[in-house]
Amino acid sequence: MLERHFEAVGMSFVEMGIGWFTPIERLLERVEIHGREHLEQALTRGRGALLVGAHFTTLEVGVAVLEALVPRVSCMYRPQRNAMIDVVIRRGRHRFAKTQIPRDNVRALLRKLRENHAVAYLPDQTYLGNQSELLPFFGEPAVTNTATSKLAALSGATVLPYFFRRLPSGDYRVDIGPPLHGFPGDSPARDTARLVALLEDYIRLAPEQYLWLYKKFKGRPPPYPDVYAR
């Protein structure tokens, strides 16, 4: 598993170039898209679609095809500490997401949803703010971002799972799930546990392609150990 994960991480640098620079017609020849109808139907409501994904090593290919699926796409992103790397990444993603929203600009996100954009949103990174709960991730407690529930409540947008992976053939698959009925509910923690369960199910299909290098278990309160301590 460890060796296969680092192979997938190495491939991600190649896939970055594939996602950013391959003409969309050629890219679509290598990507199976399942569930496109869910996204199209969600946008007929006129309140936007929140595409809830996660950090897989195939990220840049998985989101690049959005250019061909819907006319208006935005994405949330975490600004990089290195300004040059930040510019490179934003330029690469500009082909499919003309609007890129820093992760702390909730107002801009809500505005784009009200303009009926499809917004790619990846809440699986550890978030230590007040919109978080300690929830199991593969049975291990992890500080987990619960903001998706509140964003859905504030915007009225349809929430759709949006995952992607590389197939054994070397081609790719994008899975757009059906709308999460009854989401949001009356408990952000329960809503988030529901999203985590969906993510766990998808990771099991290709566990080496989830980006385990992110410190998923950081920031846990006592008595949980700091698994990253040296």
- pLDDT of 99: 84
Q: Is 62 exposed, middle or buried (0-12, 13-18, 19+ CB in 10 A)?
A: buried
- % of the chain with per-residue pLDDT over 70: 98
pTM reported for the whole predicted model = 0.93
Reply yes or no on whether the pLDDT at 97 is more than 80: no
Q: Going along 122-219, which residue ranges are E strands?
A: 132-137, 140-145, 158-166, 172-176
Instruction: Please state whether beta strands 99-102 and 73-77 pair in parallel, antiparallel, or not at all (unpaired).
Output: parallel
Domain boundaries, the chain: 2-123+148-185
With bands split at pLDDT 50, 70 and 90, how would you rate the model's confidence at 128? low
With bands split at pLDDT 50, 70 and 90, how would you rate the model's confidence at 129? low
Nearest CA to 48 out of 117, 98, 96, 120 is that of 117
Q: Is the dihedral of CA 141, 187, 111, 98 positive or negative?
A: positive
The residue type of 152 is A
With bands split at pLDDT 50, 70 and 90, how would you rate the model's confidence at 183? very high
CB 80 within 8 Å of CB 190: no
- pLDDT of 37: 97
